[in-house]
């Protein structure tokens, strides 16, 4: 019989598509004496019972939920692990109430964010950009967000767009929403936080292409 923790692990495996052992230990075994040993024991049991899948194409091994249909050596695995790493980063930074992996908002040509999340009562679409895009490709992606904004489908206020990438992109169009860029979510938070101000409940001043605006992360 599956335990409550077994079910939570399987739920996360289905949500994130793929997880590494250390991430499972961090999210589900942080309260035990030997998190990694306990994680190994539980994962081996679930694997033996056919409740989860495993790929040996990565070191350490990575695991999949029973409902995930993905090749065990898929190039997408690195992308999903980067999304998982972003999730862990955001959790460490504060209150995270919603986190959706690759939510769908329509058919082909509609925005396809890697993440929709609500962090400190502020909505974000996050692009975890591991591959290098051209400026044209990135502007085409942002144009889809503009079209989605005008469609009225999304809740208001419209989420901020956050691009996580080693590459800095020039956004050449006027936008009805804010676009941020950083190498990681942690770096993004640091860029918002004035050195002399430690309280996130206070509006934070951020420099944008259009001047200075305020963003409050509660």
- Residue 216 is predicted with a pLDDT of 54
How far is residue 202's CA from residue 204's CA, in Å, rounded to a whole number?
6
To 10 degrees, what angle do helices 76-93 and 4-16 make?
120
How sure is the predictor about 132, in pLDDT bands with cuts at 50, 70 and 90?
A: confident
> What are the residue ranges spanned by the domains of the chain?
4-74, 78-193
**Structure token digits, residue 79:** 């992308």
Percent of the chain scoring above 90 in pLDDT: 71
- Residue 67 is predicted with a pLDDT of 82
Q: Which helix (H) or strand (E) holds 41?
A: helix 35-48
Place of tokens 């190994």: 40
Task: Provide CATH code, domain 78-193.
Answer: 3.40.91.50
- Residue 217 is predicted with a pLDDT of 57
Q: 162-166 long-range CB contacts below 8 Å, 24 or more apart?
A: 162/124, 162/125, 162/126, 162/127, 162/188, 163/126, 163/127, 163/129, 163/138, 164/86, 164/126, 164/127, 164/128, 164/129, 164/188, 165/127, 165/129, 165/130
User: What backbone torsions phi and psi does residue 185 show, to the nearest 5 degrees?
Assistant: -65, -35
How sure is the predictor about 207, in pLDDT bands with cuts at 50, 70 and 90?
A: very low
pLDDT, average across residues 164-169: 94
| CATH fold group of domain 4-74 | Arc Repressor Mutant, subunit A (1.10.10)
How sure is the predictor about 126, in pLDDT bands with cuts at 50, 70 and 90?
A: very high
Q: Buried (b) or exposed (e) across 75-88, using 16+ Cβ within 10 A?
A: eebebbbebbbbbe
């Amino acid at each position: 019989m599956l335990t409550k923790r077994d079910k939570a692990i399987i739920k996360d495996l289905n949500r994130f598509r793929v997880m590494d052992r250390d991430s499972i230990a961090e999210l589900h075994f942080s309260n035990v004496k030997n998190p990694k040993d306990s994680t190994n024991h539980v994962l081996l049991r679930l694997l033996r019972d056919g409740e989860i899948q495993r790929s040996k194409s990565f070191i350490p091994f990575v695991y999949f939920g029973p409902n995930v249909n993905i090749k065990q050596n898929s190039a997408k695995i690195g992308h999903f692990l980067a999304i998982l790493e972003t999730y862990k980063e955001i959790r460490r930074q504060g209150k995270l109430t919603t986190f959706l992996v690759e939510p769908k908002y329509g058919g082909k040509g509609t925005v396809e964010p890697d993440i929709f999340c609500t962090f400190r009562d502020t909505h974000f679409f996050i692009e975890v950009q591991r591959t290098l895009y051209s400026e044209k490709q990135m502007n085409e992606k942002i144009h889809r967000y503009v079209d989605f904004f005008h469609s009225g489908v999304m809740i208001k206020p419209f989420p901020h767009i956050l691009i996580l990438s080693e590459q800095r992109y020039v956004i050449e169009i006027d936008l009805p929403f804010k676009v941020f860029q950083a190498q990681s979510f942690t770096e993004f938070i640091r860029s918002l936080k004035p050195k002399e101000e430690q309280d996130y409940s206070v509006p934070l001043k951020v420099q944008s292409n259009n001047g200075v605006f305020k963003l409050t992360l509660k």
